[in-house]
Amino acid sequence: MINVTKTFLPPIDEYQKILQRAWDKKWVTNRGELLLELEEKLATYLNTSNFFITTNGTLPLQIALKVLGIKGEVITTPFSYVATTSSIVWEGCTPVFVDIEEDTLTIDPSKIEAAITDKTEAILATHVFGNPCDVETIDKIAKKYHLKVIYDAAHCFAVTYKDKSIFEYGDVSTTSFHSTKLFHTGEGGAIFANDKTLFDTLYYHHNFGHNGPLEYHGLGINAKASEMQAAMGLSVLPYMDTIINKRKALSECYKEQLQNTDFLTFMKIRDGASMNYSYLPVLFKTEELLLATLESLEKKEVFPRRYFYPSLNKLPYLEHKKPMPISEKISGRILCLPLYSELSMEEVTMICDTIKQVE
C-alpha cells in the first residue's frame, strides 16, 4: 500500500538515546533541556532565531490572533487546511475570503483591497504547499490600511524567499511539526515574530501567562511542547538534508514523466522562492479526470489525497458563504500524489503510468 505520505521515523535506538536524558533528569515538559537544544539547532538550520516551539501547529494561529487583539474581520484564503479558518472562527473573529491566484494557488493580493471594510483588522494568508504568498504586496496593503499580517506557514520548513527564511515575513508566522510534515516532532509547531515586545507577549501567552512561578503577565494558555516531542525532533533533524534531497529527486521524476501529459499541470513556484518538496500537487483538467485517476490508483492500493478539498468558503459552520470561483475550481481538480523519502523511483513510475492510462 502506498499512502500520500509516510512519516519518517529515525532508528528507534537514536530516539531512545536522546529521550534517556529526559528520563535521567525526570524532566519531561515545561521547556526542558531537550526542547531548548532543539530550538537552538533549528535556529541554526533555519537561519532564524525569532521563534519558540509549541505542542501543535494550530494553537500558534489562535495565540497570534489573541495577542494581536484581533476581534473583527480577518481577510483570509479559502484554499488552505481547515485549521486556518477554524482558528479565526474559534477566536470569535469573522473570516472574509479572498480568492486565490490560479497559478501559485496563494491568496490573490489584487483582490484584497476590495474586501477591506472598517471592520477589517488582519490578513491571515497561507503559503500553499510551501509556495510563498506575494508577501511584498500584502505588506504594502497591510501598512496602507494599518492591518496585522499572520502567515500560516505550516508547509514551509526550510523554505526561503529572496534568500531569507519565509518565517521572517509578517507580524507573526506559524508552522507545523505534525508527523505528516517534512520535519516533525510527532505533534508540534512553532511561532515566529520579529518584534521583541510581540515575541515576548506571544511567549508568555503559550505558558499560561506565567511571569516566573508565582506571578502572571496576563492571560495565557498551555501550548508548550514536551521533551518527548523535542527528542523526536532532535532525532529527525540530522536526516533533513537527506530527506529533502530524496524528495527532490522523486518530485523531479514525477515531473519528468508527467510533463507532457496534456490533462494535468503543476503549481507555479513564485520567483525568488526555494522549494522544500513537501508536497507534489497536480491539477487535472476536470474533476471527472481526477476522480477517474483516483479510482485507478486506489485499485493498485495507491492512495493520494484531495488536498485541499473542499474550498473553505463552503465549510458548514460559516454563516455567510460567498462563492470563490477559482478556489472552488482548483479544490475540485487538485490531487496530492504520494511523496515521502522511502518511496522508490519504480513506485513513482508505476503511479505515473497509471495516471497516463486514465485519459
Q: Between the CA of residue 56 and those of 96, 177, 180, 325, 328, what are the distances in Å?
A: 25, 7, 12, 32, 28
Q: In this structure, what C-alpha cell is assigned to residue 102?
A: 490560479
Pair (208, 289) in one structural domain: no
Tell me if residue 177 falls in helix, strand or coil. coil
Other C-beta atoms lying within 10 Å of the C-beta of residue 197: 8
Pair (72, 213) in one structural domain: yes
Q: What residue numbers bound the domain in which 188 lies?
A: 2-238
Q: Which residue among 238, 271, 298 closes a domain? A: 238
Q: Which residue among 238, 258, 283 closes a domain? A: 238
For the four alpha carbons of 275, 97, 148 and 222, in that order, the dihedral sign comes to: negative
Enumerate residues 6+ apart whose C-beta is below 8 A from 147.
75, 116, 120, 121, 122, 123, 141
Do the Cβ atoms of 35 and 225 come closer than 8 Å?
yes
Pair (122, 31) in one structural domain: yes
**What is the pLDDT at residue 319?**
85
Pair (48, 98) in one structural domain: yes
Q: In this structure, what C-alpha cell is assigned to residue 139?
A: 505588506
H/E element holding 232? Answer: helix 227-236
Distance CA 164, CA 359 (A): 42
Pair (129, 205) in one structural domain: yes
Whose grid coordinates read 503577565? 217
Pair (21, 55) in one structural domain: yes
Pair (245, 225) in one structural domain: no
Distance CA 359, CA 353 (A): 11
**H-assigned helices in 100-170:** 135-145
Pair (188, 267) in one structural domain: no
Walk along the chain (359 residues) in steps of 10 and give the mean pLDDT of each run. Answer: 97 98 96 98 96 98 98 98 98 98 98 98 98 98 98 98 97 98 98 97 94 84 97 98 98 96 96 97 97 97 97 93 96 98 98 93
Tell me if residue 151 falls in helix, strand or coil. strand
Q: In this structure, what C-alpha cell is assigned to residue 95?
A: 473570516
Distance of CA 307 to the CA centre of its chain: 12
**What is the pLDDT at residue 170?**
98
Do the Cβ atoms of 175 and 157 come closer than 8 Å?
yes
Q: In this structure, what C-alpha cell is assigned to residue 39?
A: 530550538
Domain of 269: which CATH number?
Answer: 3.90.1150.10
Pair (196, 321) in one structural domain: no
Q: Which residues pair with 191 in a beta bridge?
A: 52, 174
**What is the pLDDT at residue 56?**
98
Do the Cβ atoms of 313 and 219 come closer than 8 Å?
no
Pair (294, 163) in one structural domain: no
Q: Which residues pair with 266 in a beta bridge?
A: 282
Pair (132, 264) in one structural domain: no
Backbone angles phi, psi at 235, to 5 degrees: -85, -20
Tell me if residue 2 falls in helix, strand or coil. strand
Pair (247, 223) in one structural domain: no
Domain of 79: which CATH number?
Answer: 3.40.640.10
**What is the pLDDT at residue 320?**
79
Tell me if residue 100 falls in helix, strand or coil. strand
Is the overall model pTM greater than 0.85, yes or no?
yes
Structural domains of the chain, count = 2
Q: Which residue among 238, 258, 285 closes a domain? A: 238
Distance CA 54, CA 49 (A): 15
**What is the pLDDT at residue 218?**
87
Do the Cβ atoms of 62 and 87 come closer than 8 Å?
yes
H/E element holding 161? Answer: strand 160-161
Distance of CA 60 to the CA centre of its chain: 12
Q: Between the CA of residue 198 and those of 66, 163, 202, 226, what are the distances in Å?
A: 12, 24, 6, 24
The letter for the amino acid at 202 is L
**What is the pLDDT at residue 212?**
78
